[in-house]
Amino acid sequence: MKTEFQAKFLQTILQKKKDDEGFTLIELLVVIIIIGILSAIALPSFLNQANKAKQSEAKTYVGSMNRAQQAYYLENNEFANQNNFGNLGLGIATQTVNYRYAIRGGGPSSSTVTNQAQLVKTNAPLKAYIGGVGVATQTTTSEATTIAVLCEAQNPGVNGGPDGTDGAGFTNGTPSCPTNYVSLAK
């Protein structure tokens, strides 16, 4: 009797294993729902990182334009203007997929200049950047020096933010950010 019982028990176990193979429809649906929730959470974060990378290009280029303007002023006693953009020696394109780079002001009779990263598409989810460089006198030493500021738009173009065609503000040669922009740390 014991061997008969053992044989039936083994038969039952083997048959249950054959029936239990695979996943049920409910288990598959639960996994698909979990994957959908995770991707819904991760997608906006991923898209935001892509926009930050695009904005990093503009921030870097305008910062480089500011430094190049300071060096250009030191050598030529004037700031470069849009007509001699190439004389800054940056080796950057004046337009990329997302931004158009321009110089406002400058030239022989100017003691201030604004470097701009203008949005190519004004409804883009990107922020505009401007940089101002001016000749100011240090109060402690009474020496003239160039001072620069880098400004970031408070809102992206898609949210009604500026398009980057604004000029920096200047007080006695010291540059400042216009309305709707914030100064970035140097």
What would the DSSP string read from start to end of 111-174? SEEEEEEEESSTTSS---EEEEEEEEE-TTT--EEEEEEEEEESS-GGGT---S-PPPEEETTE
pLDDT digits (tens, 9 = 90+) for 57-104: 999 999 999 999 999 999 999 999 999 999 999 988 899 999 999 999
pTM comes to 0.75
pLDDT digits (tens, 9 = 90+) for 142-156: 888 999 999 999 999
| Per-residue buried b or exposed e for 97-125, using 16+ beta carbons within 10 Å of the residue's own CB | ebbbbbbbbbeeeebbbbbbbbbeeeebb
Class of domain 28-183: alpha beta
- Residue 75: what are its φ and ψ, rounded to 5°? -85, -35
Q: Is the pLDDT of residue 14 over 80?
A: no
Give the start-to-end residue ranges of the domains of the chain: 28-183
